[in-house]
Structure 1
């Protein structure tokens, strides 16, 4: 091949004549003698043959891959042999070439059950259903929040998907917080109940550890702070409280309307009772640690 197009192509193919390109050129020459130069029209004609040839080549590659896998090779073996690809890369290569088949993986020996993992037998189907419902609510709410946009700084969105969330009557982001807490609580309840079913009395034995008790109190207090005080008329700032005509925070004091006084007193009493209960547990832990400290003296 002496024409300029073929000479240039030969250089691109590492200074050797490429038989595949030669076949395309031969088909495009349409009966011309070998010594005749290849025109631009001839090269364009050869170019038009490429898509069909590429399709045939892809089908040939897919067929060969399938033949190898049908004879017992794994994706890992094939990938290492064919371009030093990983299993995932080899599978992607096969799919990109139009391959659609799949092969069952090698049978693996059954995994021994770990004593540190719960099994299906440990879980109450009712608890599992609650987790599924809570996660569905979380996904639906996340989608709802993601579709929300702002107009003049105000959140706007369609109706929430689940009635439990829509009745909360909150903006999208607080709704998402509610859904996250609900899902986390459902999962925690399912796991705790599962361990108790497998090992009755486990929860009580765990609470013999002061770290577990303190962790429970902190988590419970945090959950309560997120939920209860927000809707109660509690003074927030450390300022003197006076009875007046309106309920509002002033620069140097907190004013409580006369008609709200009894409600505020009740809210303060309930809050104090809750905090006292948590403090009692913390005081017990402090006493316990002091006894251990004294025993080491």
Structure 2
């Protein structure tokens, strides 16, 4: 024990036998003795002083803990010294005593060239700008959707924010879906491009695996199916098509208005081209597996 701490402890223990506190303890232990002036009401009133004393002790303890940490000790060191506590237990003890400060952990060297993390040098500023723009559009769309929802639960139309809105319509929920997909796609493109800058040829090597290629195709198809039908006059089942005065579904056929025929034809062509592209990827994998099968003894 240092001289300064020894002197502080000596002063404390010399004053520790406080007559007032001793009298309170005796009264609490033995009850009121004959001839004593301390009544139950007096003891109850004095009891109200105890929380103040406890607060003073807590403040003193917090101050000492902070003083130790300010001088370079860690929570682990302090906990081991003060009650053999763990780091978490020592922190909880400090918080329970009313402490609210925090101390930065030991400085760690910055990550450089981590194989599992992209750095600023790996990202194309143009890709980062697209992500920022897409996220800004998403936030604006979400705010606009919230603003256009009326109290009675009906949605009202707003001005389009993204170019794709024209293909989906002005209903707020599809607009929000488009904004979410756009932001997710921008982030994915930025990350893929970043890894390619870090490791040229990485994407090509990754797609050598047929499982990776099929997974990419299936995710792409699912995303397309999720958004493609919205706003496009595309037949959904195998009922016969007839040209009439209005575009509507009937029990045994689908009627296409004469003015919508060209648009329906274009939508079918686009869907066929997309499906053919996906089928080509699946056919390629089938042929690859057949070659492996044929090469086995």
**Which range, TM-score by smaller chain?**
0.7 to 0.9
Check if 1:265 corresponds to 2:270: no
Contact 2:155 2:171 in 1 (8 A): no
For the residues of structure 1 that align with 2:148 and 2:219, how far apart are their CA atoms?
A: 31
* Alpha-carbon displacement from aligned partner over 1:80-113 (angstroms, at most 9, x marks no partner): 5546655345334434534344434223355564
Equivalent residue number for residue 130 of structure 2: 130
For the residues of structure 2 that align with 1:38 and 1:148, how far apart are their CA atoms?
A: 72
After TM superposition, give the deviation of residue 248 of structure 1 in Å.
Answer: 1.0
- Unpaired runs of 5+ residues, structure 1, are 1-18
After TM superposition, give the deviation of residue 26 of structure 1 in Å.
Answer: 4.1
Equivalent residue number for residue 200 of structure 1: 200
For the residues of structure 1 that align with 2:34 and 2:63, how far apart are their CA atoms?
A: 35
Q: Among residues 15, 20, 23, which one is paired with 2:21 in the alignment? A: 23
Residue pairs, 1:133-148, within 5 angstroms:
133-135=133-135, 138=138
Contact 2:164 2:178 in 1 (8 A): no
For the residues of structure 2 that align with 1:252 and 1:245, how far apart are their CA atoms?
A: 17
Contact 2:247 2:256 in 1 (8 A): yes
For the residues of structure 2 that align with 1:25 and 1:156, how far apart are their CA atoms?
A: 76
Q: Which moved more, 1:267-276 or 1:215-224?
A: 215-224
Check if 1:211 corresponds to 2:211: yes
After TM superposition, give the deviation of residue 40 of structure 1 in Å.
Answer: 3.0
Contact 2:156 2:171 in 1 (8 A): no
Equivalent residue number for residue 87 of structure 1: 87
Structure 1 residues 78, 121: closer, same or farther in 2, change over 3 A? same
- Unpaired runs of 5+ residues, structure 2, are 1-16
Structure 1 residues 116, 33: closer, same or farther in 2, change over 3 A? closer
Equivalent residue number for residue 281 of structure 2: 281
For the residues of structure 1 that align with 2:145 and 2:104, how far apart are their CA atoms?
A: 40
Structure 1 residues 221, 53: closer, same or farther in 2, change over 3 A? same
Residue pairs, 1:203-242, within 5 angstroms:
203-242=203-242
Equivalent residue number for residue 7 of structure 1: none
Equivalent residue number for residue 52 of structure 1: 52
Residue pairs, 1:66-215, within 5 angstroms:
66-82=66-82, 86-108=86-108, 113-135=113-135, 138=138, 151-154=151-154, 163-164=161-162, 169-171=170-172, 173-215=173-215
Contact 2:162 2:179 in 1 (8 A): no
For the residues of structure 2 that align with 1:123 and 1:20, how far apart are their CA atoms?
A: 70
RMSD of the TM alignment (CA)?
Answer: 3.9
- Give the TM-score, by structure 2 length: 0.74
For the residues of structure 2 that align with 1:21 and 1:183, how far apart are their CA atoms?
A: 73
Contact 1:69 1:75 in 2 (8 A): yes
Contact 1:58 1:98 in 2 (8 A): yes
Number of aligned residues: 274
Equivalent residue number for residue 9 of structure 1: none
